[in-house]
Structure 1
């Protein structure tokens, strides 16, 4: 039995990722995605992966971001402390191991967290894999709202029939408007993608975090070869809607995208989603994960739900307090000096 903590550049991470059962192998647990995320982080924050393998074929992977608390909380008590969060996307522990192996993994993980002075961890768990069963024994779970997943296993006709009638109507409308789609596994039209994506983020008043730089996308062919696709919708001779889809094994994800304001009446985005479902099914994916909203049952969630009215999964997050005394002391210290504390967040300092 072997527990280790790996960096994105470690060959061992790639080997263990490839050894995961297909049902547990999603892009968010790959070393390539970890390397991509590392470039978007504060220099004090590092991507790591707790890993376990045994002689019986058991493999467990747990990618996370190790964050230094002094960059998050302006308080002397935060110096030297750390926390962890999932990478952008889905997280938590994935893989398979017997009861003894899972216990050994969690012992190794607890020791590592103590060594790094990590006092709490937060994970956005995978709704389809259902990896909450692999959470640390001391961890807690919370359902933060629905997570929409299109089931790609039925026939193409069955998938389309599962859409809400309003979506099917929009697809027909887009066809009348002669909206066409094309797909690329490269960055040949990255300039068009960025123009539309940034305009969409500005229109929706998105936070600075979502303004991923051009370099992030330009490294996709190097870091995620065969695991990304850009899909574009064209009206006339102009690209009007686009989406970056990440995919691996059974899972495909609506990652980032947008639509020009003037193209919204054309119903280009519903046609785009329809073509994504066809393409991802052809690639062998069984699920197309659309995600949830910013709040339960908000407009974003209901927009996504129209593509899978029967495909709403619980969206679970996990929180683990490794050191209760430090957790409580930091919260109390922040309250004492008047720093804002979120009452509805596990990581109360991460506003």
Structure 2
């Protein structure tokens, strides 16, 4: 197993792009964007075993920096790793069988113990269903469904739309909504609309991003990010950021002006984005899921493909059970009301 740091960006991206099914979530720049957001230090794990190999991205965090632990444990003693926001887990080449998994787990566990990494939390990739390559490596849990659009042709896109959604798209066009695309030249408009939407949704602080984050996407990921805007009479009433490569596109961040929701601008925006992806030769446009398994956001997304359900899984490793339990006991000591048997996968991280 090799561990590549974000300071080795060229080597990192060369490894990622050597896999035929690489995705934008595995690029060094994507991981760095979330380091900028405060999510940890990026590393790429790369493992080869004969003709089989895999790689995936993690962010390293000092557990002492979790707000509940500040002042109660020393910094630089205990760490954990997690995949960046979005989707991850391994991209694999060759048959990654049980014996390959066993070898990787041995090396991964040794590395983590030597570096005081207590746990690993993985968000797997719904399009890849790559949890199957880790079933002997970590505990795996199903979470919910996500939705993907097949963008192999405009006819396929149209055919998979629910009839209600087709009507909403026609409505948006009829009332004069137009969709425009650029590379971030109207970034201030996007931020304004996105943050207004987060305010209306009473979103947590995590979902607000600094201007540096957006500028990083725009400049460092210019070949993999696109901005779309829904406009009515030249006023921007909705906006979205999409991430993409030559095979996959992902719905990243989005916002809509509340007073204009009746115009179905996001229905039209996502439809036009799918057509844009088809013209670029992209085969899958992943919309993601909802906040919960069956909320209104998920119901909205599933209107774009009647047959587009993809299961989403998460996974964990506990590399040091003794320290893991010790951390739970410290939380209990700090807050007697803390439930050490909570439903969080990494229980000491329960808010």
Task: Note whether the superposition's TM-score is higher than 0.5.
Answer: yes
- Check if 1:312 corresponds to 2:306: no
Corresponding residue for residue 52 of structure 1: 47
* Contact kept? 2:177, 2:230, Cα under 8 Å: yes
Query: Which of the numbers 62, 65, 74 marks the counterpart of 2:59?
Result: 65
Query: Which of the numbers 88, 91, 94 marks the counterpart of 2:88?
Result: 91
Task: Identify if the C-alpha distance between structure 1 residues 272 and 134 changes in structure 2 by more than 3 Å, giving closer, same or farther.
Answer: same
Alpha-carbon RMSD across the aligned residues, in angstroms, is 2.0
- Check if 1:164 corresponds to 2:158: no
Corresponding residue for residue 302 of structure 1: 299
* Contact kept? 1:19, 1:59, Cα under 8 Å: no
Corresponding residue for residue 245 of structure 1: 242
State the secondary structure of the residue aligned to 1:349.
Answer: helix
State the secondary structure of the residue aligned to 1:37.
Answer: helix
1:93-172 residue pairs with structure 2 within 5 A?
93-98=90-95, 99=97, 102-135=101-134, 137-153=136-152, 155-172=153-170
1:217-261 Cα deviation digits (max 9, x unpaired): 112243213111101111111111110000013211100011111
Distance of 1:233 and 1:126 partners within structure 2: 29
Structure 1 residue 86: deviation in Å?
1.1
- Check if 1:228 corresponds to 2:222: no
Distance of 2:107 and 2:279 partners within structure 1: 40
Corresponding residue for residue 273 of structure 2: 276
* Contact kept? 1:106, 1:136, Cα under 8 Å: no
* Contact kept? 2:102, 2:136, Cα under 8 Å: no
State the secondary structure of the residue aligned to 2:58.
Answer: strand
Distance of 2:214 and 2:50 partners within structure 1: 38
1:17-70 Cα deviation digits (max 9, x unpaired): 12011x2x110101111121111116xx311111134675x5421111111111
Unpaired segments of 5 or more residues in structure 2?
none
Distance of 1:53 and 1:308 partners within structure 2: 37
* Contact kept? 2:5, 2:44, Cα under 8 Å: yes
Structure 1 residue 339: deviation in Å?
5.5
Corresponding residue for residue 173 of structure 1: 171
Aligned residues: 342
Distance of 2:94 and 2:72 partners within structure 1: 41
Distance of 1:59 and 1:19 partners within structure 2: 11
Structure 1 residue 182: deviation in Å?
1.5
Unpaired segments of 5 or more residues in structure 1?
none
Choose 294-303 or 134-143, whichever is displaced more. 134-143
* Contact kept? 2:56, 2:89, Cα under 8 Å: yes
* Contact kept? 2:102, 2:137, Cα under 8 Å: no
* Contact kept? 1:147, 1:315, Cα under 8 Å: yes
Task: Identify if the C-alpha distance between structure 1 residues 222 and 108 changes in structure 2 by more than 3 Å, giving closer, same or farther.
Answer: farther
TM-score (normalizing by structure 2):
0.91
